Amino acid sequence: MKKYIYIYVLCVTVLFGTFGYAQQTPAPKQSEAISIVGATAHIGNGKVIDNATIVFENGKIIRIGSAASTRTSGKRIDAKGKHVYPGFISPNSTLGLVEIDAVRATRDQDETGAFNPHIRSLIAYNAESKVVESCRPNGILIAQITPRGGRVSGTSSIVQLDAWNWEDAAVKVDDAIHINWPNNFTIGRWWLGEERGLRPNKNYPEQVQQIQDVFNESKSYLNGSRSPKNLPYEAMNGLMNGTQKLFVHVDTEKGILDAINFGKKNNVKIVIVGGYQAHKVASTLRQNNVPVLLHRTHYVPEMDDEDYDLSYKKAKILTDAGVLVGLENSGQMERMNTRNLPFLAGTAAAHGLDKEKALQLITSNTAKILGIDAQLGTLEVGKDATLFISEGDALDMRGNILTHAFINGRELSLETHQTELWKRYMKKYEGK
């Protein structure tokens, strides 16, 4: 009998423990009009409206302007002294694809093989990820979920971060294919008996030609009978007909120039991702209308002769040169650090970039790069009511304190397992 009681208690403990650690329940559909009154509205396109009124209904913004001349409707939120922003957008992210780095069963960001354009990150996206939940209290409400690995990693999709499952989360399905451009330099691999040190990659031309061969084969297949069916080649169709973009992950000056020429040769719209040396070819990027998703600004210089603050001011250098720039956060602990995305933009502002232009790095610029600017990225009539209210400057960790957040007009819970722990331990020390 004791054995059965023990098993029952264990099951109940596991059951309630599981529910206790579950994601917040997604917010219900907007049921009435909502008016945010008195806040400073940061539109996301460089404009600011002081003492603004924003009205949204059925998930869409229906009025925005000065509080003195804009009629309110429905529920009224007094936001005097606060700030309203469009939801921040995190591109090139593996949010929801990995939960715990040390647990293999929770890692679903890549597949075996080098050529995987048919791998779709969207269907692996875990809408109940606790890491995803932790990003919303800092204003990150949209993300481009992107696969990793191989030469052609796969296909990304854009999601909103308050959903029951990947179907509910999808904002734009299969928006782009991602490739990792070969590095024209190599570091001696001691495990293969190579001499250590940086040297030209003698296999670089061959590796670039392999990418071209894949494109040639895909074109031949798509223009032919398509029999027998080849899934990787089928997945390349969006690139060939212009409905998808090619996101090229590349950092070196030569690699970026070669990627631009590759895009022109194959009539493919490309985006440079990472772009560590993009500032060296800024004029070429502008002339060819190639946008850049810059690697995180909180990054140390890689070369001895580089300015210590190069990563901090690179966004300004490219913006001043006329390049369309967004910020991405791939790298070490990228999922957990996604919540710091607004502070990457804040760092760019602290190093010379106008504050509203810095805001565009994670709102309207990124929306344009991802092809979702018709519905997201700015606070404008007709666009999705995906926005938030902050007590202060949302690009500064001291001011980024959200009081309300909405996705398609649905008011989100800003509670997470982290805020629960914070409140728990604050109570412990309140009387001391």
Tens of pLDDT, residues 11-41: 444 444 444 455 678 999 999 999 999 999 9
As a whole number, mean pLDDT of residues 94-116 equals 90
Domain housing 401: 25-87+377-414
The residue that leads in pLDDT, 107 or 384, is 384
Same domain, 95 and 148: yes
Q: Which of 34, 88, 90, 76 is nearest to 388 (CA)?
A: 88
CATH number at residue 56: 2.30.40.10
Q: Which of 79-83, 107-111, 240-244 has the lowest average pLDDT?
A: 107-111
Q: Give residue 303's pLDDT.
A: 84
As a whole number, mean pLDDT of residues 303-327 equals 95
119 pLDDT more than 90: yes
As a whole number, mean pLDDT of residues 108-124 equals 93
| Residue 426 φ/ψ, nearest 5 degrees | -65, -40
366 pLDDT more than 50: yes
User: What percent of the chain clears pLDDT 70, i.e. is strictly above it?
Assistant: 94
CA distance 296 to 273: 11
Buried b (16+ CB within 10 A) or exposed e, 405-420: bbbbbbbbbbebeeee
Same domain, 397 and 306: no
Q: Give residue 104's pLDDT.
A: 85
Q: Give residue 22's pLDDT.
A: 57
Same domain, 190 and 70: no
CATH number at residue 327: 3.20.20.140
Same domain, 366 and 384: no
pLDDT tens-digit profile of 131-150?
999 999 999 999 999 999 99
Number of domains in the chain: 2
Global pTM value:
0.92
Average pLDDT, the chain: 92
Same domain, 95 and 243: yes
Q: Give residue 188's pLDDT.
A: 73
Same domain, 208 and 324: yes
Q: Which of 16-25, 76-85, 115-124 has the lowest average pLDDT?
A: 16-25
Please give the DSSP secondary-structure letter assigned to residue 58. T
Residue 431 lies in a domain: no
CA distance 155 to 177: 4
Residue 294 lies in a domain: yes
Q: Give residue 432's pLDDT.
A: 63
Greatest C-alpha distance within the chain: 79
Same domain, 186 and 235: yes
Q: Give residue 16's pLDDT.
A: 41
Q: Which of 193-202, 305-314, 348-357 has the lowest average pLDDT?
A: 193-202
As a whole number, mean pLDDT of residues 58-74 equals 96
Confidence class of residue 191 from pLDDT cuts 50, 70 and 90?
Answer: confident
Torsion over CA of 217, 219, 225 and 227, rounded to 10 degrees? 40
As a whole number, mean pLDDT of residues 227-255 equals 96
Same domain, 128 and 43: no
